[in-house]
C-alpha cells in the first residue's frame, strides 16, 4: 500500500479491512513524509507500533 492510500483509510469514517503480517489492524496515524503508519491489531488496541506502509495490505 502507498502512504496516500493509507492516509485515506485512516481518515475514512468507514472501516476498511487492512492486514499487517496477516493480522487485521487499525491505522491510527500516517506519516507520509516517512512512509510509516502507527497501527494496532484489532484484538490488541493497547499494543501500538510504527510500520512501513508498504507492509500493509488492503483486503477486498
Provide the residue-wise pLDDT of the chain in tens; the chain has 60 residues.
999 999 999 999 999 999 999 999 999 999 999 999 999 999 999 999 999 999 999 998
Domain extent, residue 53, equals: 3-58
Give the CATH number for residue 47. 2.30.30
What is the reported pLDDT for 18? 98
Per the structure, the count of domains in the chain is 1
Q: Spell out the SS3 assignment of 19-51.
A: EECCEEEEEEEEECCCCEEEEEECCEEEEEEEE
Q: What is the pLDDT of residue 6?
A: 97
Contact in structure between 33 and 22 (CB atoms under 8 Å): no
Please write down the long-range contacts of 29-35, taking CB distance under 8 Å and 24 or more positions apart.
30/3, 30/6, 31/3, 32/3, 32/4, 32/7, 35/3
Q: Is the pTM of this model over 0.85?
A: yes
Amino acid at each position: 500500500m502507498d502512504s496516500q492510500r493509507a492516509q485515506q483509510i485512516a481518515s475514512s469514517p468507514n472501516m476498511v479491512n487492512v492486514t499487517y503480517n496477516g493480522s487485521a489492524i487499525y491505522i491510527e496515524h500516517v506519516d507520509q513524509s516517512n512512509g510509516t503508519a502507527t497501527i494496532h491489531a484489532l484484538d490488541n488496541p493497547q499494543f501500538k507500533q510504527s510500520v512501513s506502509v508498504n507492509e500493509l495490505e488492503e483486503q477486498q
